[in-house]
Structure 1
Amino acid sequence: MKIDETGLERMRKLKKPGQNEGNVFLFPNLPARLLQKAMGLVEEKKYKEARRLFGKLLDLDSQNQKGLYGWTICSIELGDYASAEETITRLMDEKTPHFMEIFRLYLTLLIEKKDYKNALWEIKKAEGEPELRKMSEFLSHMKSFCLSRLDETPAVAPSTNQQKNGFENSLSKHPAVDLSTLESHDPENRMLLIRHLTDTLNQEDLPEIQRFLLEENQSQEIKTMLLCAIQENHLAETVTIRKFGNVYHVAFDQQFLNRATAERIEQTINHVLGSENPTLAELAIQLSRFFMVNIFPKPITTASEQAWASFFVVRAAGADQTVEEKQHFLNLFAVSEDAYERARETALEAEQYPDWPDD
């Protein structure tokens, strides 16, 4: 099997993690920096660049589970299922306290391959695993999803074990995931469920989605995910949504999820702080991306982009900074105390809402 040269083939020729040929230790925090940068690229959906960095991380430590996990995610997104299967199999064979997350990823791989029969077989086996009992409801929904998509499955010969157990004969049609059940799942399960639900959405589902978006007691995080699903499937040009106790009209344009504003804030942070303190700048950018997505569509025009940039830098610097240090950042961005406070007050108003997601 041919794999990207920055990846698993080179991992087999590794020297000791963090050392060069002269046994001089280089960049003791390099693995952490590579991981942070790679995860940031994953969030930006730049999977090719992210996988290259995960490959470098695995060059330093071929057993790094987060590196293997990230490599697998990127390989799935890039359609390199052979590489993904190689790494996920390694993770599945290792003893890890994160087996549930790894199994979810393995299930994702099978579904991305449209190998619904084997996915169903794995779900059946998982139902008897004690360590996966907490996933029982999630597995039930995934089973329903796979059953509903069997017609799309290419002809694949069932395994010997499947034939012995007669599992294939027990398959029957079930409806896809019900929106009303999404909030009962933990955030990671929600992400996976909505991701697969997105593949099935069409114009007929729009009234049900619109009803969900307008319900007061539904999760804001799920509503934001559904907005992304509507955009990906081109289901509508505009929708109405209730968030933060108000009703907003959402257009799927350049301001969707505050993307254009977030990019300008990121450019401002990099321009002002990128050279002086790149680590702080990167953390502030990550905070700004998370915030701008989750506050949408609540207006953020109460503060300028420079004020928002200074706010995220001050927040990234931590609560233990001195008054002088905070003022230093405001001066760097040429922002007054009043302008900074307008951004801060808008942020606190949103974050104090009951179901503001954890960052």
Structure 2
Amino acid sequence: MLIPIRTGKNNWSAQQPCILLAGDIGGTKTNLASYKYDGKTFSLLKENKYRTKNYDDLGKMISDFLAGSKTPDRMCFGVAGPVLNGKVQITNVPWGIDSKQISGLYNNIPVHLINDLETTAYGLAVLEEKDIHIVHKGKHTPGNWGIIAPGTGLGEAGLYWDGKTAHPFPTEGGHCDFAPRTDPDIDMFIYLKKKFGHVSWERLLSGPGIFTIYEFLRDVKEMDVPAWLTDKMLAHDDASALISENADDVPICTETMNLFMRYLAIEAANLALKVKATAGIFIGGGIMPKNLKYLDTHTFTRWFHDFGRMRHLLEDIPVKIILNDKTALLGAAWYAVNPIE
């Protein structure tokens, strides 16, 4: 256990074994997994990945996943969007999900919807040190934690420390305003303002954001783009992945990833200040584990600490990258047996 996470007042941890369905529902892909819980540990029974946009609703996806299997005892889904009264509209997909509606399809079993960064936070209860890459050791002053996770969008969450356990809570901080610092950043802001209207950090710190940075360097800064790369992008369904794959050899791709890492350092520090994350910042999501070789630790920490009068606070804050891509699923499983409600 990396962090002692609070348990619900009526948790199942001392009760009979049960079968859980956990889900991590994102704008691009959705992971579903069933686990057997024995009161202490989670044993994976089955797992599948789906392209979210191939389905019109979650109910059909669950039905496909459970075909031929026993109905689970409880379900929990981490969803990319703000959950209100058991309902959510997915931010980057035209889906609406109602936990009561899903429950009604399966004998009214408990079904929980929580923000996907909350599930990542709960997943810290079952991760080990081997699942973590340390960017900056810091000093670990007891207090809150923050989690930032660039993926299809930009998720952010916090964990409030009560002196004994941590209490995860969601935010929609990824949709806060992008703030330029340098003259090229101002050019970036003007470019994004024309393109999107409102300029949030998610427009840069996400999979689509990597491609947006690349477009800015190509169209505004007029960096050279090899013809073969343009041809590949026309045939590739993930331009951002293509950019990161060629960041070793192609200057525009290199600069794209450099800017991405710098912006991530700055917004991670913004989150640390907002939730006073003296115990540490965790970086989750699927992008960073695949691109660790482009992370220059010295440059990252320099931008993370470069906050004027708050430098002394940020210099002591540990920064760690979550390597385990099952963290959100494990967190959803954890929440299913330890719900707040």
TM-score (norm 2): 0.26
The higher relative CO (CA closer than 8 Å, separation ≥ 6) is in 2
More strand by proportion, 1 or 2?
2
Q: Which has the larger radius of gyration?
A: 1
